Structure 1
């Protein structure tokens, strides 16, 4: 990677987003963090774009305009924003629409807002976060799995649509990520078999860099030892 590259991380204040931010700064990249949460202090040189609801296309456009306004360019969009709920289909308050909005609509709006700048980059990149669990969802995973399958479809369709441009589009498909929240929710599991956020971040940043130019439309499993 070259140090002039600019990346935007949606959902940058989550466990994975923070790991990607740390890895990106260590690689000398210029970074913008876009998140629904507001009031976070940004590390030196990082653009903090808080209070953004990416389910709203207008706010997504404002966020990307802020990134380009600060850095003059955008080379990679990392769609990490999303959400998870375990819920059976019979639940009285179904979360299907919410899962679609948090995982698919956020990515679509971010992509549409970022594409003009990404196309102007000599090595434009979009990296989405899908899910290995979506390939064969278990009980209670219907709403989440369907939404992540939507992310997979978005990734592959976009890759085809953008083949005549500089922009590649790929997705990582992690299994369980080793986060504090997952350890709390699954106290009897062995987190040593899960995916460390730093390891997943390394794969994401490879896909966000020029070296991945031969890959587009790939759904890359990152499943640890599960």
Structure 2
């Protein structure tokens, strides 16, 4: 990843922070975009762009342009921004479905669309999305989340076909990620079976690397020890 410029959405979250740190440890310059306010750690090879609603295409475009203005190029986009909701169809709200679509599909769509011209110029452009194993066969209560992540899967495949030969587009499909929020929400689970952020980051950065030049349109399960 040495010399590469990587944009990470959702960069201030548990997974985003690990991917950013690992990318920088491999020599990349990283622009982190997040809905939360920037934490003031910009400088050198790191740029933080906070307060961005990526479900708004104009805001997404401005954030991507700011990253390119800072570093002069863009080689990889990692779409981590997203959200989760557990709600049954019978007892739930259409608003939840709309929110999941906005957080998981529109954020990836808008960031990708804004990044495509820059990634094409790179000559080795990469887009890596975050899908979900739980979207392959949805359990009860997982409808809104699984439907939106299935949308990410289809977006990945379609965009890979559109950009074949110019930009690779892939998705990683994690099972439960071992984060503080997930531990708090499922305190009785066996955390040792979950995939760690670092394990997931390793797969993401492989897909962003030169070594993955022949991989596109792939939906790669990263299931830990489940």
TM-score bracket, shorter-length normalisation? over 0.9
- Normalised by the length of structure 2, the TM-score is 0.97
> Hey, what's the Cα distance between the residues in 2 that align with 1:72 and 1:12?
20
Counterpart position of 2:107: 106
Alignment of 1:119-198 (within 5 A): 119-165=120-166, 167-198=167-198
1:44, CA displacement in angstroms? 4.0
List gaps (5 residues or longer) in structure 1.
Answer: none
Which structure 2 segments of 5+ residues have no match? none
What is the rounded CA distance, in whole Å, between the counterparts of 2:120 and 2:156 in structure 1?
Answer: 16
Aligned pairs, how many? Answer: 224
Stretches of 4+ aligned residues off by more than 6 angstroms:
none
Aligned to 1:14: 13
Cα deviation digits, residues 82-136 of structure 1 (max 9, x gap): 0000000122433111000000001000001000000000210000000001001
| Residues 213-224 of structure 1 mapped to structure 2, 5 A cutoff | 213-224=213-224
Q: 1:43-68, CA deviations, whole angstroms, 9 ceiling, x for partnerless residues?
A: 54211111100000000010011011
Provide the secondary structure at the position in 2 that maps to 1:189. Answer: coil
TM-score normalized with structure 1 length:
0.97
**Post-superposition offset of 1:151:** 0.2
Q: CA RMSD in A?
A: 0.9
